[in-house]
Amino acid sequence: MIVGILILTAIETLILSFFMSWKALYTFAGGGLAVLNVLSMVESINRMLQKGTKRTGFLARYIVNAIILGGLAYIDRWSLLPVFLGLFNLKLSVFVFWRWLSEGNSHQRR
């Protein structure tokens, strides 16, 4: 899934570069946040399964996202769109690549 996020981030950066010039590079910040969220989610799930702790990892993820988005918005208000698109790649890659991988697994079960 991380590879999917990176592929989508590179494609979006290329497309946005025609409209936003160098500001399209902010998409990599959002893609980096998406990868950080995936790694944090995996760590939280593993910790919950091993220790049986409560779900508190999501709050830390949202706080980190808010701090980074707020900081980038303070630096340049036009950075919000590319960063948000890069962060949205997490959801988009799950939709695209999870369906693609699950279709391959469903044929093996039959």
Spans in the chain with pLDDT lower than 70: 53-56, 99-110
pLDDT of residue 9: 92
pLDDT of residue 104: 57
Residue identified by tokens 């991988």 is 101
pLDDT of residue 106: 56
Tokens at 110, concatenated: 């039959």
CB contact at 8 A, 65 and 26: no
pLDDT of residue 107: 54
Q: Tell which residue, 73, 48, 68, has the closest CA to residue 58.
A: 48
Supply the DSSP string of 26-40, one letter for each residue.
HHHHHHHHHHHHHHH
pLDDT of residue 94: 81
CB contact at 8 A, 89 and 34: yes
